Amino acid sequence: MRLWQNPASPFARKVRIVFRESGLLPRTEEINVAVSPVSPNADLARHNPLVKIPALQTDDGTVLYDSSVICEYLDSLNPGAHMLPAGAARWDALRLQSLCDGILDAAVLCRYELAVRPEPYRWNDWVQGQFTKIRSGLDALATEVPSWGSSFGIGQIGAACVLGYLDFRFGDEKWRERAALATWYDSVRQRASVVATTPA
């Protein structure tokens, strides 16, 4: 398999953590690509018309995107413990993944707005609107984190990517004021899969 990714992308990180947690890492090659909405990568464009990462080419040549589809595919290959449970618990795991993806969507949009858009064109009210989504999403995570126990499925992987991305790109955001979330993150950030994929 081939995974197009970028070490800074929290969505690619989700997939990279699933590769490591499920023991599938030896079966893939990670290809680093620089991505920007204003200078698309030509190689990636041949495989994903949206020119977005992560994208995964499977062993039969099929290219899968986005991160949630890739994670589901990897989970289907994994003979061991599943990141996505079966039965009723599956819907809760998928909902939690969507909550985390939504927080990440808002955070990545803010990153592009603040780092890529020329300063005269920036729209502060829009950025604040995205931060309102990020903070209400974090409040929701803080409410449910006590129910997670030691689970580390797709929802918790998403949450680790959210908190890691905020530390990486928005170090001033005081998300650790949600103490239960901070305590949880301090334990999962020690996992080998999380350490190996920490953005630098």
Contact residue for ligand BEZ among 82, 169, 176, 189 (CB under 6 A): 169
What minimum distance in Å lies between the beta carbon of 142 and ligand BEZ? 23
Taking the least distance from each CB to ligand BEZ, the nearer of 88 and 200 is: 200
Angle at 56 between CA 94 and CA 10, to 5 degrees: 55
What minimum distance in Å lies between the beta carbon of 185 and ligand BEZ? 19
Taking the least distance from each CB to ligand BEZ, the nearer of 96 and 104 is: 104
Contact residue for ligand BEZ among 1, 8, 71, 138 (CB under 6 A): 8
Amino acid identity of residue 82, one-letter, is H
Beta bridge partners of 164: none
Taking the C-alpha atoms of residue 143 and residue 137, their distance in angstroms, rounded to an integer, is 10
Taking the C-alpha atoms of residue 77 and residue 61, their distance in angstroms, rounded to an integer, is 16
Answer positive or negative: Cα dihedral of 71, 72, 75, 76: negative
What minimum distance in Å lies between the beta carbon of 71 and ligand BEZ? 17
What minimum distance in Å lies between the beta carbon of 8 and ligand BEZ? 3
Q: Which residues contact 32 (CB under 8 A, 6 or more apart)?
A: 5, 6, 7
What minimum distance in Å lies between the beta carbon of 111 and ligand BEZ? 5
Binding string, residues 73-112; x marks residues near ligand BEZ by CB under 6 A: -----------------------------------x--x-
What minimum distance in Å lies between the beta carbon of 52 and ligand BEZ? 8
Taking the C-alpha atoms of residue 174 and residue 98, their distance in angstroms, rounded to an integer, is 22
- Please list every residue from 131 through 150 that binds ligand BEZ, using CB under 6 A: none
Q: Specify the stretch interacting with ligand BEZ by CB under 6 A; choose among 2-10, 41-49, 56-64, 179-187.
A: 2-10
8 Å CB contact between 10 and 20: no
Determine if 9 is a binding residue for ligand BEZ (CB under 6 A). yes
Taking the C-alpha atoms of residue 74 and residue 28, their distance in angstroms, rounded to an integer, is 11
SS3 label, residue 102: helix
Interface residue list for ligand BEZ (CB under 6 A)? 6, 8-9, 35, 108, 111, 169
